[in-house]
Amino acid sequence: MNKNAIIYVAGHRGLVGGAIVRQLEKAGYTNLVTRTSRELDLRDQAQVNEFFEAEQPEYVFLAAAKVGGILANDSYPAEFLYDNLMLEANVIHAAYKNGVKKLLFLGSTCIYPKHAPQPMPEDSLLTGPLEPTNEWYAVAKIAGIKLCQAYRRQYGCSFISAMPTNLYGIGDNFDLEKSHVMPALIRKMHEAKQAGAPSVKIWGTGTPLREFLFVDDCADACLFLMQNYDDAGIVNIGVGEDISIADLARLVAGVVGYAGELVFDTSKPDGTPRKLVDTSRINALGWRPTVSLEAGIRLTYDWYREQLDAAGVRGVG
Ligand SMILES: NC(=O)C1=CN([C@@H]2O[C@H](COP(=O)(O)OP(=O)(O)OC[C@H]3O[C@@H](n4cnc5c(N)ncnc54)[C@H](OP(=O)(O)O)[C@@H]3O)[C@@H](O)[C@H]2O)C=CC1
Ligand SMILES: C[C@H]1O[C@H](OP(=O)(O)OP(=O)(O)OC[C@H]2O[C@@H](n3cnc4c(=O)[nH]c(N)nc43)[C@H](O)[C@@H]2O)[C@@H](O)[C@@H](O)C1=O
């Protein structure tokens, strides 16, 4: 990618798309094209075709998707399947039709079977049943991977797919019903501290194991793959270490400065018991993350408080 190449970042207002834009700008790329979902609904094929014909992007980071935590995935199976299938099919097909030089599709580690070997290697894809709370989303993401591989095989398109582990960081969604666990814990602990509440509810048993990657590290990996990788095989992006949800809650409580009790609400789902990716493929290519879990939580908490401050919400403790 030369520095004035036309680069379309789909989903630039989201957690990952926002971080990709920050990385691209930091690296000196000057010709970024972005659209909000209001300006361009990627589920609409006519709008997508018109956009690609007009803008002629040379590179595409496909970070637009219908995304959410365990409860949102479990509650809205139709949208998680339909929206994601439509938008990725439209973007990938238009990228082929308009001669895009390279496209990076973002999947997720929930594409792997619920009981995949740990850490999960890329070749465990499609070797067993999926985790029921997110199978709709996972099926759409697997279809996106297969679209990239099909257009590469039939038409020689340089379309690649990356599978990031659970992400968090600046620009995250802090909605308590729809978010992932990290922003939910930060918000719950912060509000409990402000209110002097004696306890905080943590969903599930606290025993599931998850791996967390700071989003700017993920964006760095996306840029690295765009520049250094061109193959049909999918590539995991992760840190290679996991933590139980109970220990994560204790870590977040420490960063926020909340000393109350953690109560486990077992009426909420645990989801997959463990999700740790095998990162040997991306490590062998020469990429590693740089932000530790505790440092990443601190950066995210600082950013969250800045947002509250800017919105005039009491709670900067
Ligand atoms: N968050 C995580 O933990 C993980 C995320 N990923 C992957 O990273 C990618 C981005 O996720 P993340 O940044 O967290 O998600 P966010 O929800 O933060 O952002 C998604 C973005 O997609 C855009 N979007 C959604 N629907 C449409 C549509 N119909 N038309 C146009 N744009 C649309 C939204 O645009 P707008 O704001 O304009 O409405 C939004 O900014 C996804 O593919 C996801 O699978 C992978 C692993 C983990
Ligand atoms: C990225 C990934 O994200 C999702 O999978 P998930 O890892 O299960 O997601 P999660 O972050 O929502 O939960 C992780 C764990 O944490 C527990 N947990 C505790 N307390 C809260 C809580 O307050 N909120 C949430 N959301 N979870 C909580 C929760 O019960 C679960 O055991 C899928 O969308 C999937 O499609 C996907 O790709």
Q: Dihedral of CA 305/309/311/315: which sign?
A: positive
In this structure, is residue 227 part of a structural domain? yes
Give pLDDT, residue 316.
Answer: 43
Eight-class DSSP state of 277: B
108 is in an annotated binding site: yes
Indicate whether 57 belongs to any domain: yes
Instruction: List CB contacts of 161: < 8 A, sequence separation 6 or more.
Output: 104, 105, 106, 107, 144, 145, 148, 149, 234, 235
Establish if 145 belongs to a structural domain.
yes
Residue whose Cα lies nearest atom 32 of ligand 1: it is 37
For ligand 1, residues with CB inside 6 Å are 11, 13-17, 36-37, 40-43, 63-67, 83, 87, 106, 108, 164, 166-167, 173, 180
Judge whether 120 lies within some domain.
yes
Whole-structure pTM value: 0.97
pLDDT value, residue 16: 98
Catalytic residue positions, numbered: 137
Residue at 97 is within a domain: yes
How high is the pLDDT of residue 312? 84
CATH number of domain containing 98: 3.40.50.720
Instruction: For residue 99, give its domain range.
Output: 7-168+212-237
Tens of pLDDT along the chain (317 residues) come to 999 999 999 999 999 999 999 999 999 999 999 999 999 999 999 999 999 999 999 999 999 999 999 999 999 999 999 999 999 999 999 999 999 999 999 999 999 999 999 999 999 999 999 999 999 999 999 999 999 999 999 999 999 999 999 999 999 999 999 999 999 999 999 999 999 999 999 999 999 999 999 999 999 999 999 999 999 999 999 999 999 999 999 999 999 999 999 999 999 999 999 999 999 999 999 999 999 999 999 999 999 999 999 988 765 44
The reply to whether 267 falls in a domain is: no
For residue 64, the ligand 1 atom closest to its alpha carbon is 22
68 belongs to an annotated ligand binding site: no
Residue 246 lies in a domain: no
Residue 313: what pLDDT?
A: 76
Closest by Cα among 210, 202, 206 to 185: 202
> 80: exposed, middle or buried (C-beta count within 10 Å: 0-12, 13-18, 19+)?
buried
Q: ∠231-236-238 over CA atoms, to 5°? A: 145
Q: What is the pLDDT of residue 268?
A: 95
> Quick check: helix, strand or coil at residue 244?
strand
Domain contains 206: no
Query: Phi and psi of 107, rounded to 5°?
Result: -100, -145
- Structural domain count, the chain: 1
180 is in an annotated binding site: yes
pLDDT, position 136: 98
